[in-house]
């Protein structure tokens, strides 16, 4: 996703001189083409995220479309108040880019796990939150953000994520993408869990004949209301999937929406990290176990919804 981001941003910035990239000293082996081709539209503030964000607001005030860049929690939590006051309060076109959202920096430890970022960003009025599901979405999201819209948060993975979309997509901020259609249950994923969600859904189809609808909810805010409502009305239940805490992430956003709309899905489960500290290190796959087992969760939801989960085995 990182590569898709920088390549597309560089192309966009060559055409639109308003596009500006600021880093707080990260981007080694990634930013060099942008920096070297477009030095007038590039800035390294040093390891100083608060200053980076304030400067971004100042530049955006003068008409730039500014991308601030760092990893994990540094461009978000470290300078949250600058984002709140200097960027959002003034409704400026600043895009906060975090590489390594979720558990991407798994073995680097707890400090490098960006697992509250979506929740924190959701609290800000006007903040658009995009967590692309694969490099194709990351490219499209980057280009969509090179525009006049207000503040946005772009939560990326790192590098080497699998491509989920084999074909070109029509990307629109706030509009979920349907990866697979089905009526038994809906899996709504945001961010890098998309490939894993699709794999799990395909495994259940093969093993148990379960036909899941799979949505890539790349935009967590504003969330695609219609897609969520349709999932609740048309399918046997909803499971949200994310590398984020269950408190405050996509799962919360979907639950908030449905309850406020007065719609009750047959069953609901948010799959994500619990509200507990994890102190062991390990790969992302290892750490993801703290969220539970997605396949088991899906079966539980189906059972709760009255779905004959033994159907497949009877066939």
Partner 1 sequence: MKDCGALFPGIAMRTKNESELLARQIRIDSLRMTHRAGASHVGTCLSMADILAVLYSGIVRVDAASPLWANRDRVILSKGHGAAAFYSALARTGFFPPSELDTFCQDGSNLMGHVSHHVAGVDFSTGSLGHGLSLGCGVALGSKRANSPVRAFVVMSDGECDEGSVWEAALFAPHHRLSNLVAIIDYNKIQSFGKVEDVLRLEPFAAKWAAFNWGVREIDGHDHAELFRALASTPFTVDRPSIIIAHTIKGKGVSFMEDTVEWHYRSPNPEQLQRALNELTETST
CA distance linking residue 53 with residue 87, whole number of Å: 8
Q: What Rg do the C-alpha atoms of the chain give, in angstroms? A: 19
Instruction: For partner 1, give the closer residue by CB, 89 or 290.
Output: 89
Q: Is 107 helix (H, G, I), strand (E, B) or coil?
A: helix
For partner 1, give the closer residue by CB, 69 or 105.
69
- Work out how close the CB of 73 gets to partner 1 at its nearest, in angstroms, rounded to a whole number: 17
Q: How far apart are CB 293 and partner 1 at their closest, in Å?
A: 43
Closest approach of partner 1 to the CB of residue 78, in Å: 10
Is 63 or 109 the residue whose CB approaches partner 1 more closely?
63
Q: Residue 262 corresponds to which tokens in the numbers above? A: 């007065």
Residue ranges binding partner 1 (CB under 8 A): 40, 43, 45-46, 48, 50-51, 53-64, 81-82, 85-86, 89-90
> 248: closest CA among 120, 104, 151?
120
Is the bond preceding residue 292 a cis peptide, omega within 30 degrees? no
The smaller minimum CB distance to partner 1, of residues 35 and 175, is found at 35
Nearer to partner 1, 40 or 262 (CB): 40
The helix/strand/coil state of 263 is coil
The least CB distance from residue 60 to partner 1, in Å, is 8
Min dist. Cβ of residue 25 to partner 1 (A): 12
Nearer CB in complex with partner 1: 14/172: 14
Alpha helices in the chain (DSSP H): 2-15, 32-37, 49-61, 80-81, 117-122, 135-145, 194-208, 225-234, 250-261, 284-288, 294-304, 311-314
Triad 272, 87, 135: Cα angle to 5°: 45
């Amino acid at each position: 996703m990182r590569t898709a981001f920088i390549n597309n941003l560089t192309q966009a910035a060559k055409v639109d001189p308003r596009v500006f990239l600021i880093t707080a000293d990260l981007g080694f082996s990634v930013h060099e083409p942008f920096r070297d081709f477009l030095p007038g539209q590039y800035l390294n503030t040093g390891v100083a995220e608060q200053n980076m964000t304030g400067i971004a607001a100042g530049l955006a005030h003068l008409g730039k479309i500014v991308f601030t860049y760092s990893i994990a929690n540094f461009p978000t939590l470290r300078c949250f108040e600058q984002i709140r006051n200097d960027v959002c309060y003034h409704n400026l076109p600043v895009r906060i880019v975090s590489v390594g959202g979720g558990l991407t920096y798994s073995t680097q430890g707890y400090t490098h796990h960006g697992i509250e970022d979506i929740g924190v960003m959701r609290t800000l009025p006007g903040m658009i939150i995009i967590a692309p599901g694969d490099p194709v979405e990351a490219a499209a999201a980057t280009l969509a953000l090179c525009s006049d819209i207000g503040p946005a948060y772009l939560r990326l993975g790192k590098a080497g994520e699998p491509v989920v979309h084999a074909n070109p997509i029509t990307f629109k901020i706030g509009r979920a993408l349907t990866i697979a259609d089905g009526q038994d249950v809906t899996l709504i994923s945001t961010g890098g869990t998309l490939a894993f969600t699709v794999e799990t859904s395909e495994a259940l189809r093969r093993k148990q004949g379960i036909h899941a609808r799979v949505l890539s909810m790349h935009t967590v805010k504003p969330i695609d209301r219609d897609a969520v409502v349709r999932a609740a009305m048309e399918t046997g239940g909803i499971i949200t999937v994310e590398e984020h805490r269950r408190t405050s992430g996509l799962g919360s956003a979907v639950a908030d929406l449905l309850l406020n709309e007065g719609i009750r899905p047959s069953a609901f489960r948010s799959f994500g990290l619990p509200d507990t500290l994890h102190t062991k290190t390990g790969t992302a796959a290892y750490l993801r176990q703290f969220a539970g087992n997605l396949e088991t969760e899906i079966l539980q939801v189906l059972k709760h919804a009255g779905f004959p989960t033994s159907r497949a085995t009877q066939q």
